[in-house]
């Protein structure tokens, strides 16, 4: 099993996640043998509140978290059949993310921890994503993680709890953001990822010759803003767009993204193999974009060609949730990271603190 201390005492942890547009709480137990059980996992999406704006509005998100969080926590405890006394700790996302939402989560968690005499464990949201495969698949370290969501696009080598090496990251837009912006400029519904994937199903992926940014270049960074601009130019050149034009554009966009991911994956694996830290046997995909079936298939094939197995946790655990935060908190406690009384919210918090800062933006700022 995954933990380096498999025979530690069992733990039950309440997780709280409010870093973006999902208000989430979950109860997760870690058994003495190191295995994990999700006892409840409540995610209240704010999609409807933000849909009219075509993206997440930070102020609306923070207010919605304030309104919903108490009820979501109560539902998580109820679903799990857990009393406060059954809990060992509260784990809360302290960053990176939208500061208003993070403040709601961290202040709530600290207040409950103080009132109930529970340990408090601040968790990096990216660490939650990074450790999910150890919860769902009992995956042993090290493994390669491709994290692709609305706010992040990066390759990480997950070496152990608290030990992450960022291999590459986006220098401009996150991949989910590129899907969302592409959908918006084509007049497709928000969130853009599922809309683009659906529209692409009947399209000809070879009709539009879109760029493959950074393909073939050294390293495994990403760049997606030029691709989105190329879609805009093709859309303008072919306006007004028929349904077939839209499908062809979406399919061409997705194929370009697939080509880029494959190429970057090859470089990420090569970087791992040439490093003294060793070579991962698995590729894990996480984040909302990992829900894309076309890209998942391409990644699975590319990973197999490189001798890696491919793991994509179930969709509800790929996208933002609190079970991953509770699990990361439990693993940190097992590894001896100290519990705290307060959790300072951090809008920016790179998982690999030793990595060079990246230049670009991403929907929630230069997050990692």
Using CB under 6 A, which of the segments 134-142, 211-219, 259-267, 283-291 binds ligand KG4? 283-291
Beta-strand ranges (E) seen in the chain are: 11-17, 22-30, 36-45, 89-95, 119-124, 143-148, 153-160, 163-169, 282-286, 309-311
Using CB under 5 A, which of the segments 4-12, 209-217, 255-263, 320-328 binds Zn ion? 320-328
Q: Is 320 in the site for ligand KG4 (CB under 6 A)?
A: yes
What stretches of 7-88 show up as alpha helix (H) in DSSP? 47-51, 58-80
Q: Is 172 in the site for ligand KG4 (CB under 6 A)?
A: no
- Check residue 187 and give left, alpha or beta (phi > 0: left; psi -120 to 50: alpha): left
Q: Is 320 in the site for Zn ion (CB under 5 A)?
A: yes
Q: Which of 194, 211, 219, 296 binds ligand KG4 (CB under 6 A)?
A: 194
Token duo for residue 62: 């923070």
Residue in this structure with the two tokens 């270049």, named with its chain if needed: 217
For residue 234, give the 3-state DSSP assignment. helix
Instruction: Looking at residues 135 to 164 of the shown chain, list those that interact with Zn ion (rule: CB under 5 A).
Output: 149
Beta bridge partners of 170: 222
Q: Is 191 in the site for ligand KG4 (CB under 6 A)?
A: yes
Q: Which of 95, 100, 287, 350 binds ligand KG4 (CB under 6 A)?
A: 287
Tell me how far apart the alpha carbons of residues 357 and 367 are, in angstroms, rounded to a whole number. 9
* Min dist. Cβ of residue 117 to ligand KG4 (A): 32
* Min dist. Cβ of residue 204 to ligand KG4 (A): 19
Q: Which of 96, 192, 258, 350 binds ligand KG4 (CB under 6 A)?
A: 192
* Min dist. Cβ of residue 184 to ligand KG4 (A): 10
* Min dist. Cβ of residue 151 to Zn ion (A): 6
Say how many C-beta atoms besides its own lie within 10 A of residue 239's C-beta.
8
280 interface partner picked from ligand KG4, Zn ion, none, CB below 5 to 8 A per type:
none
Tell me how far apart the alpha carbons of residues 176 and 166 are, in angstroms, rounded to a whole number. 19
Q: How many residues sit close enough to ligand KG4 to count as binding (CB under 6 A)?
A: 20
Q: Is 128 in the site for ligand KG4 (CB under 6 A)?
A: no
Using CB under 6 A, which of the segments 114-122, 176-184, 233-241, 323-331 binds ligand KG4? 176-184
Residue with Cβ nearer ligand KG4 (11 or 261): 261
In whole angstroms, how far apart are CA 311 and each of 71, 277, 285?
A: 33, 21, 6
Q: Which of 172, 173, 180, 262 binds ligand KG4 (CB under 6 A)?
A: 180
By CB atoms closer than 10 A (0-12, 13-18, 19+), residue 30 is buried
Per the CB < 8 A criterion, the answer to whether 202 and 213 are in contact is: no
Q: Is 256 in the site for ligand KG4 (CB under 6 A)?
A: no
Query: Residue 34: phi, psi to the nearest 5?
Result: 95, -5
Q: Is 127 in the site for Zn ion (CB under 5 A)?
A: no
Q: How many residues does the chain have?
A: 368
Pairing of strands 22-30, 36-45: antiparallel
Give the CB-nearest residue to ligand KG4.
193
Residue with Cβ nearer ligand KG4 (11 or 291): 291
* Min dist. Cβ of residue 150 to ligand KG4 (A): 3
Quote the DSSP letter at residue 169: E
Using CB under 6 A, which of the segments 199-207, 273-281, 286-294, 340-348 binds ligand KG4? 286-294
Residue in this structure with the two tokens 């870690």, named with its chain if needed: 30
Q: Interface with ligand KG4 by CB under 6 A: which residues? A: 20, 149-151, 176-177, 179-180, 191-194, 197, 287-289, 291-292, 319-320
Q: Interface with Zn ion by CB under 5 A: which residues? A: 149, 320
């Amino acid at each position: 099993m995954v933990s380096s201390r498999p025979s530690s005492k069992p733990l039950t942890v309440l997780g709280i996640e409010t870093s973006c547009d999902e208000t989430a709480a979950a109860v997760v137990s870690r058994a003495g043998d190191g295995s994990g059980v999700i006892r409840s996992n409540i995610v209240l999406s704010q999609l409807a509140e933000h849909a009219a704006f075509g993206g997440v509005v930070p102020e609306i998100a923070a207010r919605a978290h304030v309104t919903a969080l108490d009820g979501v926590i109560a539902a998580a405890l109820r679903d799990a059949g857990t009393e406060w006394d059954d809990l060992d700790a509260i784990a809360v996302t302290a960053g990176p993310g939208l500061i208003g939402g993070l403040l709601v989560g961290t202040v709530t968690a600290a207040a409950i921890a103080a009132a109930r005499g529970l340990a408090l464990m601040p968790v990096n949201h990216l660490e939650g994503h990074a450790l999910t495969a150890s919860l769902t698949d009992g995956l042993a370290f090290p493994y390669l993680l491709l994290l692709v969501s609305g706010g992040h696009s990066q390759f990480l080598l997950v070496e152990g709890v608290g030990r992450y090496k960022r291999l590459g990251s986006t220098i401009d837009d996150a991949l989910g953001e590129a899907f969302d912006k592409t959908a918006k400029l084509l007049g497709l519904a928000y969130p853009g990822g599922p809309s683009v994937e659906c529209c692409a199903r009947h399209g000809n992926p070879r009709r539009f010759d879109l760029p493959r940014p950074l393909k073939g270049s050294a390293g495994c960074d990403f760049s997606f803003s030029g691709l989105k601009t190329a879609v805009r130019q093709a859309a303008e050149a072919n306006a007004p767009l028929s349904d077939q034009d839209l499908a062809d554009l979406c399919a061409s966009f997705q194929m370009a993204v697939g080509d880029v991911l494959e190429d970057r994956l090859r470089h990420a694996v090569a970087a791992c193999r040439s490093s003294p830290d060793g070579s991962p046997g698995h590729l894990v995909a996480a984040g909302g974009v990992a829900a894309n079936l076309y890209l998942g298939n391409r990644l699975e094939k590319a990973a197999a060609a490189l001798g890696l197995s491919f793991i994509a946790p179930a969709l509800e655990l790929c996208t933002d949730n609190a079970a991953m935060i509770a699990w990361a908190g439990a693993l940190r406690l097992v590894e001896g990271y100290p519990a705290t009384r307060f959790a300072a919210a951090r809008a920016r918090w790179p998982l690999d603190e030793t990595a060079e800062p990246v230049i670009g933006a991403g929907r929630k700022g230069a997050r990692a």
